[in-house]
Amino acid sequence: MQLNTLPVGLGGGSLLQYATRGPHQGMGYLLKTPEDKLVMIDGGRDDFGDGDYTRQLIREHGNRVDLWIMTHAHNDHFGALSRILQDTEALDFEIADLRFTFPPLEWIGSVENGGSLPLVQEFYRQLGRHGIRSTRLYAGETIECGGLTFDVLSDGTDYADYHTINDTSTVLRVHFPSRDVLFLGDLGAESANALLSRVPAEALRCDIVQMAHHGQGGAERNFYEVVRPKIALYTAPMWLWECDIGKGRGSGPWQTLKTRAWLDELGVQVSCPHAYGDYLLI
């Protein structure tokens, strides 16, 4: 997998967007803080080697995750950690602080035909088997880790207002010394509009944004008009990046090409999709 290095002026630390190791979409980020702490956001799927690769990255960075945040209860986001836990009797690295806010199991089982429920239940079972405790995230809180600041802008506790797990995505604004990054998870259109209604525009404005729902839908143009990004991070493999079901560019049902056109019109300077490998921002 090609590694693309982008000097974007973070002012210290780095951000690695690593692609899923198989053909499907997923999301994983590794952040090194200015004080050499390790932060993970999501991690990828529970298949196609995402767990193995995530584990390899953690080993290469000292076998300790100082902070691990999961954005929402979909397997292509929490699945890599779940797979790592399933495949090991004794975890060979440390997770100092795991944080997420998933909706209640009863609600997860009531939406999207209940398909995510057994996967979330297995994730919980594996956390319990390894004695890993998690902490809830709350909108409005700030987390400090190794010279980075994480502002939690949305926490998914308004799940009763929605009918999709994507709409319960945690939204984070991460402050590097010289740049901020907005992580949207799979934020849906409804929850994006709700966020716009309760968070000041200046809290959302960021030069670097992780595109909601892999860039194929979710938050709409009005949301990105407020964010005004210059660098867009797309967790989209080639078929999704080109909206191709095997019959050529634009032959698929996804919204990626429309999203890309929005951002071109809004003045985005660099787009970083999984389609072209991993991206290291420094």
Predicted model pTM:
0.97
CATH code of residue 64: 3.60.15.10
Q: Supply the range of the domain harboring residue 142.
A: 3-281
Is residue 1 scored above 90 in pLDDT?
Answer: no
Q: What is the pLDDT of residue 116?
A: 98
Structurally, how many domains does the chain consist of? 1
Find, among 231, 232, 239, 188, the residue nearest to 213 by Cα: 188
Angle value at C-alpha 190, between 153 and 24, nearest 5 degrees: 85
**Whether the predicted pLDDT of 213 surpasses 90:** yes
pLDDT of residue 89: 93
pLDDT in tens, 44-83: 999 989 999 999 999 999 999 999 999 999 999 999 999 9
* Section 232-242 average pLDDT: 98
